[in-house]
Structure 1
Amino acid sequence: MFMQVLLLISAALNVAIHEPPKGLGDTVTPELRTRQQLIAQVTEMIHIWDSQQGEVPASREKDKIGRCETLGGGVVRFFIWSFYYAYKMESLREIQPPQQQPHIWRSMLNENNQPQQPQQQAQNLNSGGEGTTILRTCFNGVNTLCGVGILSVPYAIAQGGWLSLILLLFVGLISWYTGLLLKRCMKDPIIKTYSDIGHAAFGPKGRTLIAAAMYLELFAVAVEFFILEGDTLNMLFPNTTFTIEHLKVKGTVAFIIITALIVLPSTWLRNLGVLAYFSIGGIVTSIILLGCVLWVGAIDGVGFHARDKLLDLGGLPLTASIFMFCYGGHAVFPTLCTSMKNRTQFPKVLAACFITSTIIYGSMATIGYLMFGEFSKDQITLNLPLRNVCTKIAILTIIINLLTKFSLILSPISLAIEAKFIPPNNRLLSILVRTLLMISIVVVALAFPYFGYVMAFIGAILNVTVSLLLPCVCYLKINEVAWAFEFEFMAIIGILVSGILIGITGTYISVKHIIAHL
């Protein structure tokens, strides 16, 4: 009772200092002024006042605030292995810089910075309004996770041995957990994207850092797509050569250039709805590839006779980096969560997506390694006999899928550059920027046409950063009460250490192999 009196006195002082936006008071109904919400609001206003004064509460005071939040109705759910929810108001986010609004008022404003009606407030805070169903979100999530990485998982097992399948499960588990951490960073309804999470944790610099990491990841994936397209077409049409002036171009290099010329006009488009409609989803492509490989092994006589090594410690860094590439969908997870009708179901959706993806990756890794053993190449399609119909189906599926996805991948990078440096509606400069971007990607692909090693490099540098390190750091920054829970804090530290270890060793090994093949 004594603590509540102190909180109410502090509330009166803070309300006088932090006056709510004009017109907001009229929209707050008496029903919203329950004892639980009042204590939660008071707790945050105390936190806001302390932070604006540059004071950091002592750990003892943090414990008191945490207890008040619990008494006031904040729910703490701590499940030993994963599901943990702790009530914690996130850091302030600027709406109209430099003016800052407290979370309890900011969440009651609409997109035009005007007060919402109480019904709108309740809808935003609870259900997420209209959006996608659980099934469709699962489909989109699996499409995000199941990409070109499926081609290299047999090669990854060939590098690390049979026991590296345990590493696949471990990487999938920690990647799933960091996806949950991103969800827990999105309690504020205004946080809708990964960049918003970075802003909530570290301000504008955090937003810039995460945006830059995601754009670099997209750029690197585009490079990987060109390498894959060149290798695949070269397999389908071997010994192809053409001459530019007195320069003879052949093989993978020739098809990378041809692919760039084919897809370049599509990168100039601003409306990519048609391409999005025709692009084949990752899950469809993965199922077709898995079916074709299984058919070649079981029906066309290749067989499943390879046993080979149980464990190769020297190959584990490369294996782990490839697995990180496979599970690198975290940039999309906040958007998927925001798009749902019922966002509280997102943890279940995330679990279903990772379980499905792990089954697909594990199946391809096992089947491919049983078929080709230590001779598994960095693209499983390069091992398949070209004369077989299933091989041609798999190759054509990859080609069509990649051709329709290039523009979709490059569009966010192009739009970001244009928004920063190009005046609106200047089509000529827009086309020039997109053309230069395409040229830069082709140059990188021609300089480093090593699909498996480039994939490992991307996984070790970019996917480790976006999928492991940043989610943990942002979560610890936004939800400071997590520091008080020993098990979860130690789990997050373990993920950070694992991510740093994979990043350093994977980068070293992949760069070493790339340099050796130059």
Structure 2
Amino acid sequence: MEHDQKSNATPLLESKRASKLQTLGNIIVTVVGTGVLGLPFAFRIAGWVAGSLGIAIVGISTYYCMLLLVMCRDKLASEEPLVEARSYGDLGYRCYGTLGRFLTELVILVAQCAGSVAYLVFIGQNLHSVFQSNGFSLASYIFMLTPIEIGMSWIGSLSALAPFSIFADVCNVLAMGIVVKEDVLLALKDGFSITERTAITSNIGGLPFAAGMAVFCFEGFGMTLALENSMQDKTKFPKLLAQTFSGITLVYIIFGLCGYMAFGEETRDIVTLNLHRNWSSLTVQVGLCLGLMFTFPIMMHPINEIVEGKLKMIHRNNNNDSTELGKITIYISRSIVVVVLVVVASFVPEFAVFASFVGSTLCAMLSFVLPATFHLKLFGSSLCIWQKILDSIVLITGILFAVYGTYNTIVGV
């Protein structure tokens, strides 16, 4: 029985712990992704006041729910030190048994796959825009990424990926900086009054769409336990996470405001499409593509963790303890996952609608509903009344948001 309760998650190929700086880089590159370029569009839909408040609320809520996961894992570790809860799926199992693990891992798997697909679509669209004179189709550029991403998916640990994460962070910061500079210059050149921009939209139905984009921006929730577990000094993780989220939330608000103020009602779903075709816009697109290419393996980690956990169970059942065969199997499985995601990405239509749909459904379930459910289940009567109320609000709001946000995205804004 004890054997069944052990983690089915496959640890990364290397066990080297990450430093504070490495963890910082991994947190940023995990959270910041393609969704940030849709923020100005979300501000256009919701209004700049509603958009700013929405980003702040989503950022605080996501941080709170990440801490709930860590607290749940710590509680289980203190109760049963010999039974390790390494992953999100392990928490699902410890709370609700086999069904809990299945549902939790299913949500993580689909959510991370959707996020990874969004990365591939975004990279493909930008490469297609930059090199449009070559005559290649959008799908062709996406398929060109396959060998690169397969090779990077073979990198074993988060600490080994840290240099790529830091490089990706630099690319993202430079690209966002250039976009903000272009926004400010354009706004100053054309001149505008803040009263000309919508503060809070009268189209209430558009708020869930914009909120879905905001939730999608704080992606990578499935990496929470892996990031905390990879850190050398885990006691510093909550403070580091709070500092990082504060900075990211502030940058998101500034970026969304600048983009919307510059382009107003002409703001596109991907703000780089509003930029004139010159060296700076091309630099932005290439920089973001490089950043996301290096971020992709980190997005893949929760997917690989689940898939490889199942492969390990099969090997154990077959009494196969060959380490070399296990590594070969891991390399093959990661390659297959990349190929499948590339094929799916080649059929995805509009980026903004896809991102909002993923944020409204999968990300909302993963980021809010499951953590609040686990916390209420594991801590139960030991929680004070305000904690129970807060968790219940997060849980109910997450469910309602997922339902209405999905409907609103499907019928259109």
TM-score, normalising length from structure 2?
A: 0.80
Shift of residue 468 of structure 1? 0.1
Q: Secondary structure at the match of 1:294?
A: helix
2:223 matched to which residue of 1? 332
Whole-angstrom distance in 2 between the partners of 1:420 and 1:217 = 18
Query: Within the alignment, does 1:459 sit opposite 2:353 as a pair?
Result: no
Residues 304 and 286 from structure 1, CA distance in 2 versus in 1: closer, same or farther, beyond 3 angstroms? Answer: farther
Query: Within the alignment, does 1:174 sit opposite 2:174 as a pair?
Result: no
Whole-angstrom distance in 2 between the partners of 1:178 and 1:282 = 26
1:259 matched to which residue of 2? 145
- Give runs of aligned pairs for residues 308-327 of structure 1, distance below 5 A: 308-312=197-201, 313-327=204-218
Q: Secondary structure at the match of 2:269?
A: coil
2:181 matched to which residue of 1? 295
8 Å CA contact 1:297, 1:303 repeated in 2: no
- Give runs of aligned pairs for residues 394-473 of structure 1, distance below 5 A: 394-410=284-300, 413-414=303-304, 416-417=306-307, 420=310, 425=325, 436-473=336-373
Residues 414 and 287 from structure 1, CA distance in 2 versus in 1: closer, same or farther, beyond 3 angstroms? Answer: closer
Match for 2:272: what amino acid? T
Q: Secondary structure at the match of 2:35?
A: helix
- Alignment equivalent of 1:368, drawn from 253, 256, 259: 259
- Give runs of aligned pairs for residues 86-485 of structure 1, distance below 5 A: 95-97=2-4, 132=18, 134=20, 136-164=22-50, 165-185=52-72, 186-189=74-77, 190-242=84-136, 250=137, 252-260=138-146, 262-263=147-148, 266=151, 269=154, 271=156, 277-280=163-166, 283-299=169-185, 305=192, 307-312=196-201, 313-387=204-278, 389-410=279-300, 413-414=303-304, 416-417=306-307, 420=310, 425=325, 436-482=336-382, 485=384
Shift of residue 175 of structure 1? 1.5
Whole-angstrom distance in 1 between the partners of 2:221 and 2:149 = 28
Segments of structure 2 that go 5 or more residues without pairing to the other structure are 7-15, 78-83, 316-321
Residues 144 and 411 from structure 1, CA distance in 2 versus in 1: closer, same or farther, beyond 3 angstroms? Answer: closer
Match for 2:266: what amino acid? F
- Give runs of aligned pairs for residues 57-96 of structure 1, distance below 5 A: 95-96=2-3
8 Å CA contact 1:143, 1:281 repeated in 2: no
Higher helix share: 2
Superposed CA deviations along residues 143-197 of structure 1, whole A, max 9, x for unmatched, are: 3222222111111111111222211111112212212211221234333432332
Shift of residue 330 of structure 1? 2.6
8 Å CA contact 1:331, 1:466 repeated in 2: yes
Match for 1:377: what amino acid? R
Whole-angstrom distance in 1 between the partners of 2:234 and 2:302 = 25
Number of residue pairs matched by the alignment: 380
Shift of residue 472 of structure 1? 0.4
8 Å CA contact 2:149, 2:296 repeated in 1: no
Residues 304 and 219 from structure 1, CA distance in 2 versus in 1: closer, same or farther, beyond 3 angstroms? Answer: farther
Whole-angstrom distance in 2 between the partners of 1:282 and 1:482 = 42
8 Å CA contact 1:279, 1:405 repeated in 2: yes
Shift of residue 230 of structure 1? 1.8
Shift of residue 98 of structure 1? 8.0
Report which of the two structures shows the higher radius of gyration computed on alpha carbons: 1
8 Å CA contact 2:54, 2:211 repeated in 1: yes
Shift of residue 142 of structure 1? 2.8
Shift of residue 358 of structure 1? 0.4
Q: Decide which moves more: 332-341 or 228-237.
A: 332-341
Superposed CA deviations along residues 68-111 of structure 1, whole A, max 9, x for unmatched, are: xxxxxxxxxxxxxxxxxxxxxxxxxx633489xxxxxxxxxxxx
Residues 343 and 487 from structure 1, CA distance in 2 versus in 1: closer, same or farther, beyond 3 angstroms? Answer: same
Whole-angstrom distance in 2 between the partners of 1:444 and 1:217 = 14
Residues 488 and 384 from structure 1, CA distance in 2 versus in 1: closer, same or farther, beyond 3 angstroms? Answer: same
Q: Decide which moves more: 328-337 or 503-512.
A: 328-337
Superposed CA deviations along residues 93-131 of structure 1, whole A, max 9, x for unmatched, are: x633489xxxxxxxxxxxxxxxxxxxxxxxxxxxxxx95
TM-score, normalising length from structure 1?
A: 0.65
Whole-angstrom distance in 2 between the partners of 1:256 and 1:337 = 32
Specify which structure has the bigger relative contact order, considering alpha-carbon pairs within 8 angstroms and separated by 6 or more residues.
2
Segments of structure 1 that go 5 or more residues without pairing to the other structure are 1-93, 100-129, 243-249
1:6 matched to which residue of 2? none
User: Superposition RMSD on alpha carbons, in Å?
Assistant: 3.2
8 Å CA contact 1:482, 1:488 repeated in 2: no
Match for 1:509: what amino acid? N
Q: Secondary structure at the match of 2:221?
A: coil
Match for 2:392: what amino acid? I
Residues 184 and 225 from structure 1, CA distance in 2 versus in 1: closer, same or farther, beyond 3 angstroms? Answer: same
8 Å CA contact 1:147, 1:282 repeated in 2: no
Whole-angstrom distance in 2 between the partners of 1:426 and 1:132 = 24
Q: Secondary structure at the match of 2:170?
A: helix
Whole-angstrom distance in 2 between the partners of 1:175 and 1:258 = 34
Shift of residue 474 of structure 1? 0.3
Match for 2:240: what amino acid? V
